[in-house]
Amino acid sequence: MKIYIAILLFALTGSVAAFDHEHRAFTELLAPHVAWNAAGTSTGVDYAGLQRQRAPLREYLATLSAVDQATFDGFTLPQRQAFLINAYNAYTLELILTAYPKLESIKDLGSLFSSPWKKAFFRLLGEERHLDDVEHGLLRGAEDFNEPRIHFAVNCASIGCPALRPEAFTAARFDAQLDDQTRRFLRDRTRNRYEADDDVLLLSSIFDWYAGDFETGWRGTESVAAFVALYADAIGADPALAARLKSDEVEIDYLDYDWSLNSK
């Protein structure tokens, strides 16, 4: 029995040590079931197809749950951030699939007194967790966190949310993937646009809810407008407007959020 336990522990330790930071299993699930729209600004999710792939999804989730805190602490910052974003997105898919197709919004999984983002339905880093733990505690709450672009990477299974990427986030491509997500989101005129007649920048409510994350001096920006100015081409701003955004001289209003399920 002792020999069996030792072999089992060795196998588990080895599997964690060999954790796949490419998250290939997640990409294999996403690629056939998540597709960009014609403009390349949002994606639709084939939840019916994912429902048929529930076993591989749960196998991938099990590899995430197998990583303990000490192992996670040994990851590089991009590895930790990619791990947590993938975990958030994968567990969100799992949450939707618990009720699909009998729901029209992730909010249907909550009530007036309970939030779907507060449902503790999985283990991660040795503890029972809910989605808010991952986003606000582990990602935004990390001491070395100063990455506002994660708000364009975590996906809440809603049309108003930035796209669920049809591939996993990886440490090797993390910066490029975040930059791509940000540009695609800002290019979507249903969610972000400048109204020249009124001289007002209309942005997704994400920029309102998490304004503080865009005011921390990331790449020299200390306001939502200055952050957007970094992506002036994506928002469609000419040099004059970009300069005014950088100087925080443009009025900003926030658009209503569409919580409808991002299904296709």
pLDDT in tens, 100-109: 999 999 999 9
Residue 112: pLDDT band with limits 50, 70, 90: confident
Q: What mean pLDDT do residues 39-59 have?
A: 98
Residue 75: pLDDT band with limits 50, 70, 90: very high
Which has the minimum average pLDDT: 3-12, 111-120, 204-213, 222-231?
A: 3-12
Q: What mean pLDDT do residues 34-45 have?
A: 98
Assess whether pLDDT exceeds 70 at residue 229. yes
Between residues 141 and 13, the one the model is more confident about: 141
Q: What mean pLDDT do residues 208-222 have?
A: 93
Which has the minimum average pLDDT: 13-17, 18-22, 207-211, 213-217?
A: 13-17
Residue 4: pLDDT band with limits 50, 70, 90: very low
Residue 157: pLDDT band with limits 50, 70, 90: very high
Return the pLDDT at 3.
Answer: 41
Return the pLDDT at 73.
Answer: 95
Angle at 228 between CA 226 and CA 232, to 5 degrees: 110
Return the pLDDT at 146.
Answer: 85
Assess whether pLDDT exceeds 50 at residue 123. yes
Q: What mean pLDDT do residues 181-197 have?
A: 98
Return the pLDDT at 143.
Answer: 80
